Amino acid sequence: MADTIRVGAGCLNQIPLDWSGNRRRILQSISDARDAHVSVLCLPELAITGYGCEDQFLSHETAERAWASLVQIAPETQGMVVAVGLPVWVKNAVYNAVALLIDGEIKGLVAKKNLAGDGLHYEPRWFHAWPEGVIVDDKFGDLHLPIGDPIFKLGGIRIGLEVCEDAWVADRPGRLFAASGVDIILNPSASHFAFAKQEVREQFVIEGSRAFGAVYVYANLLGNEAGRAIYDGGGLIASAGKIVAEGSRFSFHETTLVHKTVDIERNRLHQARTVSRQIDVQGLSEIELPFEWPKVTRWDGQEPVPPMSKDEEFTRAMALAYFDYLRKSWSSGFVVSLSGGADSAAVSTFVKVMLDLALHDLGEEGVRNRLPHLDLPEGTADWMKLFLFCAYQGTKNSGDTTRNAARGVAQALNCDYAEWEVDDLVERYENTIETVLGRKLSWKKDDITRQNIQARVRAPGIWMFANIRNALLLATSNRSEAAVGYATMDGDTSGGLSPIAGIDKHYLRQWLRWMETEGLPESPPIPALSHINVQNPTAELRPQKEKQTDEDDLMPYEVLDTLERAAIRDKKGPADARKVIQIVHPEYSLEEHTAWTKKFYKLWCRNQWKRERYAVAFHVDDQNLDPKSWCRFPVLSAGFAEELAEL
């Protein structure tokens, strides 16, 4: 029996239902692990199919093809122990399972006990939870194999599994492993990115190692797998209650590997010293198999990495999401209607950061290889002109401030840029409607109508450029606007991707100031963003003499964000939400608090139909409003009428 073992966690950038591609990346990770002399490799949850297959998990063919891939992968694991996830059918039910490949053969399956059914997770729609303590033999392909929650005893070393959510619940399976003397716990995961979430993962990995006296190996997915969720990778290894190795996060590579040599005997000593540990003499059911552990001759491996700031996490997550969405949708670049305001500037800036980080991670040749559908010229100097086209579409209500800001940002980004006016289109629409109505349109009577037509006439031209360039049109609405419907449908919401619809305006403005002055080492600050950051946000749809601003139309953005968190994240009613803003924003009067609370709830309820129509948005914050993945609300409701009346 070995005293020291080299363990590894492989993080993979998979694509749902990409059978050959997913298999190739799994085999690459196994090969990399073999080169690093790893004996035990943990790969992500549902790595063979991809995590985001949605209702295709209910297709028999999905499971059959996944099994066929597993059969092809198994022979490449000779001399190793590899855990890899896939869906399986047992007695006409689908289970989220992990196959144990041992010395080139499939030896058994562990099924997930605790299914993730909150937020953007929807596992109970497709999978059944496996009952604790149950192991059955069933036929999978040509093999009869055990499936359930066994411990695998290999060459005297016990290995158990917690599958993603299993480690997040209070009654986690690891408590049983501790009672049975498990040496190594593997956690194949598909844990989406959210701010500061890596710190939470580190906590349960550390606690799993400390409390259960085991080596703990955590593997995660990587990249924008299926469109909305972003996975940060960042594999973790803990031993003796400490993180001993951590993989890179937000890598642009298809696979990453973190590995470390760990001392099994040191963890066993910890178990022996823990007198309060309740020993289960019978223990969990074990599958005992011969396995010859290789002798470890060196102790090197990756070290823990310092935590990232919120701004750095956000920047790296968005850049990777842009890159993956671009390549997985086979698009040729991005198109943005650049208004000279914060939202469109942020959406455009991420393209520059994406290219900077991709070139840093992959190099010029690596970027070419990952984007084979693009004909990128030699040298990277003009790549931004291919990746991003921006247009400023002015009207008589546009000011020099926004026009100059848009031009300055476009020049700093070195993107392809144009300016044109849309007044004639607005006038033609207004003249047509005035003829039908038999009266003139006025700002007093037709304010919203006249604002909206200016936003909408900008859409066809920018859509044309997206079509001509075979590019993704990026919508520019943020989460604060989505909460209250402060957006023109088929105007600023136009696009095939809405990257910042999950971010509030208050933080977005803070991030733009950070990007103006700090940035990343691989993507330096952009001083030209100062033209954006000195402005008060404005739609610029009313005559200039009215000095329109977003906050005059709505309320201060910090108040809007506080109300949004109270009402939507915390599910508070109007009276309790008003109490929250009274505490958080005492600088305003009770009359203002009441008026803003009423406005928020009325606009929130009336505009669910808009949120239902938003383009795909990246999930970066566990306060998302996306009704397709996070926050469900009826399109038609009473709109808190009684509650608001009581205010």
pLDDT more than 90, % of the chain: 83
Neighbours of 81 (CB within 10 A): 27
Is 299 domain-assigned? no
Is 433 in the same domain as 490? yes
Is 589 in the same domain as 484? no
Is 516 in the same domain as 565? no
Alpha carbon distance 271, 183 (integer Å): 10
Is 300 domain-assigned? no
Whole-number pLDDT of residue 321: 98
Is 85 in the same domain as 99? yes
Q: How many domains, the chain?
A: 3
Whole-number pLDDT of residue 629: 82
More confident residue, 383 or 647: 383
Is 263 domain-assigned? yes
Whole-number pLDDT of residue 274: 73
Is 134 domain-assigned? yes
What pairs with residue 111 in β-bridges?
A: 97
> Considering 553, 587, 606, which residue would you say is the last residue of a domain?
553
Is 301 domain-assigned? no
Q: With 80 as the cut, is the pLDDT of residue 259 above it? A: yes
The closest alpha carbon to 302, from 234, 349, 247, 355, belongs to 247
503-526 residue pLDDT tens: 999 999 999 999 999 999 999 999
Is 357 in the same domain as 367? yes
> Considering 489, 524, 553, which residue would you say is the last residue of a domain?
553
Q: With 70 as the cut, is the pLDDT of residue 5 above it? A: yes
Domain range for 396:
310-553
pLDDT more than 70, % of the chain: 97
Residue 439 sits in a domain whose CATH number is 3.40.50.620
Q: With 70 as the cut, is the pLDDT of residue 353 above it? A: yes
> Considering 535, 553, 571, which residue would you say is the last residue of a domain?
553
The amino acid that residue 170 corresponds to is: A
Is 26 domain-assigned? yes
Alpha carbon distance 70, 54 (integer Å): 20
Is 547 in the same domain as 584? no
Is 269 domain-assigned? yes
Is 47 domain-assigned? yes
Q: What mean pLDDT value characterizes the chain?
A: 93
Alpha carbon distance 412, 407 (integer Å): 9
289-344 residue pLDDT tens: 999 998 887 766 677 788 899 999 999 999 999 999 999 999 999 999 999 999 99
- φ, ψ for residue 522 (rounded to 5)? -85, -15
Alpha carbon distance 62, 56 (integer Å): 7
Asked if 190 contacts 45 with a C-beta cutoff of 8 angstroms, the reply is: yes
Is 538 in the same domain as 528? yes
Is 569 in the same domain as 544? no
Q: Output the furthest CA–CA distance in the chain (Å, rounded).
A: 92
Alpha carbon distance 207, 243 (integer Å): 10
DSSP for 424-461 reads HHHHHHHHHHHHHHTS---TTTSHHHHHHHHHHHHHHH
Name the least confident of 7-11, 298-302, 362-366, 441-445. Answer: 298-302
Residue 23 sits in a domain whose CATH number is 3.60.110.10
Is 283 in the same domain as 321? no
Is 535 in the same domain as 599? no
Whole-number pLDDT of residue 271: 82
Q: Model pTM?
A: 0.94
Whole-number pLDDT of residue 535: 84
7-23 residue pLDDT tens: 999 999 999 999 999 99
Average pLDDT, integer, range 446-474: 95
Is 317 in the same domain as 282? no
20-58 residue pLDDT tens: 999 999 999 999 999 999 999 999 999 999 999 999 999
Average pLDDT, integer, range 99-117: 96
Residue 571 sits in a domain whose CATH number is 1.10.10
Is 377 in the same domain as 523? yes
